[in-house]
Structure 1
């Protein structure tokens, strides 16, 4: 894959101003300016923030209508059904709304469809088969529902109100009682970065305030919403929405709550995931906690994950966490088989890579694993990828894209071939008849080709600044740690250094290389410990090599071990 190294060139006067205001290193000031932090208030708020820095969500379109309808249902003890999605975002959104409404004494239950048996999102069958049978008065969707016109119509005709809370791209608004989706074109409040759980949390903020205005909390202590932020952080990071504005604040505060171990289910999941107690970071959510939560919906049923997040029974929490860990291992094995199948196919049919996109289908692929496998293929081949599992003439697929190519828009161009589809610019799901896959693949590739440029397929490595080993210090790493959390849209700082010499090297684990590095021409000539993860270790020689690299791109972190911390370079590119 072609990669372009690009050193960001921040305005020098802005960098100097931030450096002077914060009394920080040049590198830290450059990182902040690269993230559009240029004033004193912006800099201080970026580093020191609280829930008070969250903008009031009261003006999100339809949120007031939703709040008043839910309040009526709570007070009149109407039957409320929370209908959620089966991924980590939907699971946490379901759990957070369920907990809040249970606390108010509402008559509330939840329903998450089985991924393979029922498929994605609210459907008319759920109205007739579950809501009516259980005499539901109000349905609240979380992380889904924005395109479900048929299901909303069925609910209306059955006398059931529907409130949609979602964050997926929305074109035609369903005729629901309220549609709380910041991506609505008529919603200009600037909350379109929120994940599904973020929208649910915004609803809870507004609901708590409205209940306060009618003296609801006189007989019941008003809940502390900070305690819900662990779930917000979990769903937000897992869904890979931009970690900016409210998302960054809620994720930071949520990580603090996670590290306090207040929720038995999350504490148990942290333990089985091998995360250092009280030291979870966003990477731990993305690569350890979220995959285990998602495994429930992929391998079995997402209800298990909701139970984990809401149980107060420590023994039961441990049992479920172990079960999810086992499901995740099953998921990893299935993913490995799918990727091996695809890589073998590409090896035999290399011409498939002549196109701008990669669309493949197979009847043996587990549809619950396709999204993860597609992400891995995007990393490897850097182009939009759609994988489709076919059964009984119907294909169900998941797609992932690359920056600059909106997969949802390209699917919209080809919608005549699809039975249904939905998603984001970077990820989408679809259903299609098997006999339409070939023509769809051609038209989708044409749609992408019409809006892309050659530069879109060269991955850009954005480097915050060049950094000499002499300038790496304890102060710098402490400052970088103060900029957490990092994630999608707010990447961990990446630096570049030239003329690097490998003094020694050894393989750790199966696929990681630990090294001691020096920089030629460095005044102090000080060695620095480095590690490079997930590489082909068979081609690496170890020992004393005096091997050299023209330049490396790396991140700086503390390596904490046995109560001590040392400077460590984490190499991303060479």
Structure 2
């Protein structure tokens, strides 16, 4: 809406389109109609060198601009000043995005990148602590600790919810109040789950899969009892079926995979297609990041990668496996190969 108003009042500004493009991706907006057009146009402007404050947040000097790079490199850095608002002035992010001084842009971009590295360490430490508080007998995890940072609650809740495949609330204490974030993994609707508990809450808002919550310290047990009681009535929709396109190994060529980009950008409501590749002989299997991720080498020009791996019985080398995942091109040292980003291996 802000972009449309600016277009009407001052005309088309490419920088504004870029910012709206990033915002749509950051807020996981459905990529339909005008929103899709804005994202596609914004990415094309970034490729043209428009909007240095966004471009200088990328890791590479000459990045390959697409929706994935924006989602995983740019958005976390724009969010970090809000997450760590107790350490920096979040309003400086607005000044940064409006800056036209290349010297200032480069200087502040480095500060934001450094702050994001600090955020990674903090969120990793908080995640480790949160894992020690998990009680697997509960189907909805409520995790509280005085050491938790409010700005990290959503990140940690999201990672744990994905790993545990259950709803997770992570709440930080601020004097006599708790403020936290909830992630549901789509297993239940957060917009209605706490309806009968609203009188005990100070604040609540969000959507089906993610919400923010606030309540006084003396209501902690009330919230826990309510959630545990409510979960007795909840049946998870564990439909783990995938809409996939079955392909043969001979069809997975660099040219064919590159042609998928004609359909981009992908995102909410316009998801990247999932492919099924069956009966693949694994040449080698490697555990990465201390067991967090797994890579299978299927041939010299085809590899499969799964992040946050869990099903270790499928990860033996020399196995024959089926893979469901997205197909993308990985370029390294001038050489291209196809990667399968695995959603499921069996």
- Tell me how far apart the structure 2 counterparts of residues 514 and 405 of structure 1 sit (CA, whole Å): 32
CA contact (8 A) 1:410 1:448 kept: no
CA contact (8 A) 1:259 1:277 kept: no
- Aligned position for 1:201: 3
2:104 to 310, 313, 316: 316
- Aligned position for 1:291: 76
Q: Does 1:531 align with 2:304?
A: yes
- Aligned position for 2:337: 566
SS at match of 1:355: coil
Alpha carbons of structure 1 residues 314 and 276: separation in structure 2 relative to 1, 3 Å: closer
Q: Does 1:499 align with 2:287?
A: no
CA contact (8 A) 1:304 1:320 kept: no
- Tell me how far apart the structure 2 counterparts of residues 410 and 277 of structure 1 sit (CA, whole Å): 46
Alignment of 1:182-201 (within 5 A): 199-201=1-3
How far off is 1:550 after superposition? 3.4
Alignment of 1:511-526 (within 5 A): 514-517=295-298
CA contact (8 A) 2:139 2:167 kept: yes
Alpha carbons of structure 1 residues 430 and 516: separation in structure 2 relative to 1, 3 Å: closer
1:279 to 55, 59, 64: 64
CA contact (8 A) 1:400 1:428 kept: yes
Could you report, residue by residue, the CA deviation over 1:413-463 in whole angstroms, capped at 9, with x for unpaired residues?
Answer: 32111012212222211221011022112223444554x423x2x362523
How far off is 1:505 after superposition? 4.8
Q: TM-score, normalised by structure 2?
A: 0.88
Q: Does 1:482 align with 2:262?
A: yes
Alpha carbons of structure 1 residues 307 and 488: separation in structure 2 relative to 1, 3 Å: same
Could you report, residue by residue, the CA deviation over 1:157-189 in whole angstroms, capped at 9, with x for unpaired residues?
Answer: xxxxxxxxxxxxxxxxxxxxxxxxxxxxxxxxx
2:240 to 420, 437, 460: 460
2:222 to 432, 439, 446: 439
Could you report, residue by residue, the CA deviation over 1:207-241 in whole angstroms, capped at 9, with x for unpaired residues?
Answer: x1xx5xxxxxxxxxx52144422111211111223
Matched length: 340
Alpha carbons of structure 1 residues 289 and 379: separation in structure 2 relative to 1, 3 Å: same
Q: Does 1:382 align with 2:153?
A: no
Structure ranking higher on relative contact order (CA contacts 8 Å, 6+ apart): 1
- Tell me how far apart the structure 2 counterparts of residues 405 and 291 of structure 1 sit (CA, whole Å): 26
- Tell me how far apart the structure 1 counterparts of residues 243 and 42 of structure 2 sit (CA, whole Å): 28
Q: CA RMSD in A?
A: 2.8
Q: Which of the two has higher C-alpha Rg?
A: 1
CA contact (8 A) 1:530 1:571 kept: no
Alpha carbons of structure 1 residues 330 and 516: separation in structure 2 relative to 1, 3 Å: closer
Alpha carbons of structure 1 residues 492 and 367: separation in structure 2 relative to 1, 3 Å: same
Unmatched tracts of structure 2, length 5 or more: none
Q: Does 1:337 align with 2:110?
A: no
Q: TM-score, normalised by structure 1?
A: 0.55
